[in-house]
Structure 1
Amino acid sequence: MNEFWTAVILGIVEGITEYLPVSSTGHLILATELMGFDQKAWEVFNIAIQPGAIMAIIVLYWRTFRDVTKGLFTLEKGAIAFIRNLLVAFFPAVLLGLAFGDTIELMLGNAELVAWALIIGGIAILIVERMAVTTDHGGVGAVSLRTSIAIGLVQCLAMIPGVSRSGATILGAMSFGVDRKTAAEFSFFLAVPTLAGATVYKLYKARNELTVDDMSLIGIGSIVSFVVAVIVVKAFVSVVTRYGFGPFAWYRIAAGSTALVWLYSR
């Protein structure tokens, strides 16, 4: 398969999985393994196409970003709380990423770890869905500072490939009493600084290795992931509102189990 179609396929995988609690990084690792791609060659690409998914959230929630920006200029409490909550939730991932970046990168090539993380994460979703007692918070700006810090700490679990950044933040938020809709939106908005930071850091580290062709492929993957993510996020909110996160839990368990069978039988 030529590199153009590889970039398209991985862009589709990123767009579908980034905001679902199923682990985009885990799926990209498994997709790379399943299709026989050189894991090392596509490692930077898999991170660098995340701006496409970031733009999907900015486009879908442009009114929220507009209102928060306007509110900051007028020192509106809700806007300040919105930014404060995202920053304190983002900060733990920055510290951990800088401290253990090399260890995290070593895990990115472990498809077996991804499979087990998918299964365990699916079971965790089922448990939280059944046991969490939540109340309607009415938006990210209404979440307390303490809860936002706790969500940020839970998000750090997603540095293990297969755990899922969105899954960790959503389940963490619900465990601390945040309702499903606000938990999902917290995950969406927190993705903007988190994914942007990870992309900039990865591109900076690989700056001497990237070619013009590499950047072209990253551009293709980003565009594809943007289009797909816009569609998926709209559908995701609808599914969660009606059915909760159970369907994603069972999918994770099935996908992880299938991956383990395949990996052990090769």
Structure 2
Amino acid sequence: MSENLIAIIIGIVEGVTEYLPVSSTGHMILVGSMLGFEGEKASVFEVFIQLGAILSVLFLYRDKFSRMMRPQKLSIYGSGLSVKHILAGIVPVMGIGYLLHKPIKTYLFSPYTVIIGLIVGAIFMLVAEKVSKRPSVTNVDNITLKQAFYIGLFQILALWPGFSRSGSTISGGLILGISRAAAAEFSFIIAVPLMAVACLYDLLKVWDKLNLADIQMFAIGFSVAFVVAYISVVWFIKFLNKSTLASFAYYRFVLAIASYYYFFKF
């Protein structure tokens, strides 16, 4: 299989799964293994195309990011979503992620650990749907600093590949009394600085391994991830306005079973 075709396939997988509660990292580990696209080059490529997915959300919510950066929004007492909310949502996972980065990369990036994450994450989503009540917050701008911080704590669960960052944050939001759509939008917004920092951190460590000959493949994957992620986010918000997370949970069970038989039974 040509590298350009691999770039398109993985770019589509990244774009579709990055913001859906199904774990993009888990999918890329599984798909990469199936395609035989593994090793240092694959790791760099997967990090690089995540920047395309990040850019899609930055573009989609550009007005909201612009408003948040106005001087009055930097105040802890300002109304609406602010930089303080973003910091409250990302500091917990950034701290834990930094401390555990090496063991996570060493021991948790495998099909077996992804399968575990898919199953446990699916159960957590179903439990969150079960215990959630009528939401008290239906607009992302009404999320409090306290709720933003607690969502950040739930996001720590996503450090286990397969658990899903959006799955953990949206489920956490439901438990905290936030609507699915509002929790999803907050999840998308805090993902931009969080993923940007994580991606740049990973890229700096492997910068010397980048090759000019790979520019075409990387550009294709980046572009595909950007376009597909944009479409995926728009569709997902509309979906959450009238549906639950249950269908994604059941998909995760099916994917986990299929992956187990593919990697360990065949």
Q: Into which bin does the TM-score normalised by the smaller protein fall?
A: over 0.9
Q: Shift of the alpha carbon at 1:31?
A: 0.2
5+ residue gaps, structure 2, are: none
- Which sits farther off after the overlay, 139-148 or 254-263? 139-148
- Which residue is 1:165 aligned to? 165
Unaligned runs of 5+ residues in structure 1 are none
The aligned counterpart of 1:126 is: 126
Query: Residue 238 of structure 1: CA displacement?
Result: 1.6
Contact kept, 8 Å, 1:118 with 1:252, in 2: the verdict is yes
Give yes or no for contact 2:74–2:84 (8 Å, CA) kept in 1.
Answer: no
Deviation of 1:239 after TM superposition, in Å, equals 1.5
Query: Once the two structures are superposed, what CA deviation does each residue of 1:218-241 show, in whole Å capped at 9, x if it has no partner?
Result: 332111101001111111112111
Secondary structure of 1:78's match? coil
Letter of the 1:77 counterpart? G
Matches within 5 A, 1:233-252: 233-252=233-252
Change (3 A) 1:74 1:255: closer
Measured after TM superposition, the shift of residue 73 of structure 1 is 7.0
Given the superposition, is the C-alpha separation of residues 71 and 178 from structure 1 closer, same or farther in structure 2, using an over 3 Å criterion? farther
Deviations 1:122-180 (A, max 9, x none): 12211111211242424334222222111111111111110111111111111122111
Whole-Å separation in 1 of the counterparts to 2:128 and 2:39: 33
Match of 1:78 in 2: 79
Instruction: Name the % identity.
Output: 36
Number of residue-to-residue matches in the alignment: 265
Q: 1:261: Cα distance to partner? A: 1.5
Aligned pairs for 1:74-223 within 5 A: 77-78=78-79, 81-223=81-223
Verify the 8 A CA contact 1:170 1:184 in the aligned structure 2.
Answer: yes
TM-score (norm 1): 0.92
For the residues of structure 1 that align with 2:18 and 2:178, how far apart are their CA atoms? 21
Instruction: Give the Cα separation in 1 of the matches to 2:203 and 2:141.
Output: 32
Q: For 2:210, what is the secondary structure of its paired residue?
A: coil
Structure 1 residue 84, shift from structure 2 partner: 0.7
* C-alpha spacing 1:73/1:86, structure 2 compared with 1 (3 Å): closer
**RMSD of aligned Cα (Å):** 1.9
Counterpart AA for 2:168: A
| Distance (Å, rounded) in 2 between the aligned partners of 1:109 and 1:66 | 36
How high is the TM-score relative to the length of structure 2? 0.92
Distance 1:6 1:146, change over 3 A: same
